[in-house]
Amino acid sequence: MNHGTDNTLWLNATLFDGLNTREQRMAMAVTDGQIAWLKPMAELNTGDRSGFECIDVEGALVTPGLVDCHTHLVFGGNRAGEFEARLEGKSYEEIARAGGGIISTVKATRAAGEEALFEAAKPRLQALMADGATTVEIKSGYGLSLESELKMLRVARRLGRELRVRVVTTLLGAHALPPEYKDDADGYIRLVCEEMIPAAAAEGLADAVDVFCESIAFSVEQCERVYAAAKAHGLAIKGHTEQLSNLGGSAAAARAGAASVDHIEYLDEAGVKALAEAGTVATLLPGAFYMLRETQLPPIELLRRHGVPMALATDANPGSSPIFSLKLMLNMACTLFRLTPLEALRGVTAHGARALGLQQQVGRLAPGLQADFCLWDTQNPAELAYSVGLPRLTQRIFAGVKA
């Protein structure tokens, strides 16, 4: 079988287009790395095939390439020891307050050279790609100094250049307070706003800016200052909000025009309404919920009722979610959060792309979008969420080419 070069006509697909599953078997034409057109097989004329190399997928499920819209893939060291401490009864917050947690990864990341960070991150990204990711967001946030944050972002950009995947980068300078700014959170926020954001923007290293709005991190007011600086430099906004408590950080992010707010276990109805009004995506991170054995569920029913798009991501990081599989997130979103398989699939395709502001480029199978898609060894989309380990990804196409 040919493996799909440019000008390829994929025939007989069971097609999940990023929002819905088509009722009829579909043909999808790919030209110059983009989706040219889609047609039900029953409406295909002989002329439609001319100039195309045809590949019959015999009913196999075709989905958009998966979008992981929230990861922290670049980091030094690991936190297996912290995992053991949590098993012995310490909480995530206790560990953070005692200088472990995020700060222990900061030490290891600052000490690591760019090459070492790249080599460590590569297999993590490859793991995501191995089960279908074609777009992956990568945050900084373990450097917490101008130099180390930029170093992380350069590694993320290099991953995007060297691997067959689209990488979107986010500056998360406001992730935690570094030890040298102890007792001077406002001073650190000034560093983020006045030095990190301008430098990352000037060097083209960041597409967006993120914050951790939480009692163990930064206040709503501090996060608002970061949003203002991000906007002044033309960068998109995201927030880690309402993960461990309800501070109103999601509503503040939405008012500032955030593309997404992420975690949101403690989000209330006023917050959900703020997201609906602003068109902000709610990103669900069941991996962190699972690893931290959280019991507060995100307000799924309210998000549905107010029509807020729900994205779904791995949050892959060394502490709260050392998990490098989006497919596993499909299962966890259904078992833990009671999403339907269709909602979960939209979360890693169309809505994941929206959380990155990329809805006109990726996340759906529609004319004019980039030809990033996956072929699966099943004809039933629900099986992607139902089963863990199977069905197999049989082909991953990136920009029209088998990757």
Closest to ligand NIG by CB, 318 or 352: 318
Residues in 67-96 at the binding interface with ligand NIG, rule: CB under 6 A: 72
Q: Are 124 and 316 in contact (CB under 8 A)?
A: yes
Q: Does 240 bind ligand NIG (CB under 6 A)?
A: yes
The minimum distance between CB 384 and ligand NIG, in angstroms, equals 24
Closest to ligand NIG by CB, 25 or 240: 240
Contact pick of 71, 148, 241, 320 for ligand NIG (by CB under 6 A): 320
Q: Which of 399, 351, 342 is CA-nearest to residue 373?
A: 399
Give the per-residue contact string, 150-189, with ligand NIG (x = CB under 6 A; - = no): ----------------------------------------
Q: Which of 52, 55, 45, 53 is CA-nearest to residue 13?
A: 55
Give the per-residue contact string, 298-337, with Fe ion (x = CB under 5 A; - = no): -----------------x----------------------
Containing 212, the helix (H) or strand (E) segment is: strand 208-213
Closest to Fe ion by CB, 341 or 352: 352
The minimum distance between CB 99 and ligand NIG, in angstroms, equals 13
Q: Does 243 bind ligand NIG (CB under 6 A)?
A: yes
Task: Name the residue type at position 285.
Answer: L
Q: Determine the distance from the C-alpha atom of residue 277 to the mean position of all C-alpha atoms in its chain, rounded to a whole number.
A: 22
Task: Find all residues with CB under 8 Å of 247, minimum gap 6, and list them.
Answer: 213, 214, 215, 219, 220, 241
Judged by beta carbon distances under 5 to 8 A according to partner kind, the member of Fe ion, ligand NIG, none in contact with residue 243 is ligand NIG
Q: Does 319 bind ligand NIG (CB under 6 A)?
A: yes
Task: Name the residue type at position 382.
Answer: A
Q: Does 264 bind ligand NIG (CB under 6 A)?
A: no
Give the per-residue contact string, 101-130, with ligand NIG (x = CB under 6 A; - = no): xx--x-------------------------
Q: Which residues of 65-96 are buried (b: 16+ CB within 10 A; e: fewer)?
A: bbbbbbbbbbbbbebeebeebbeeeeebeebb
Q: Which of 192, 161, 205, 160 is CA-nearest to residue 68?
A: 160
CA–CA–CA angle 226, 174, 172 (5° rounding): 95
Containing 284, the helix (H) or strand (E) segment is: strand 281-284
| Binding-site ranges for ligand NIG (CB under 6 A) | 72, 101-102, 105, 212, 240, 243, 288, 315, 317-321
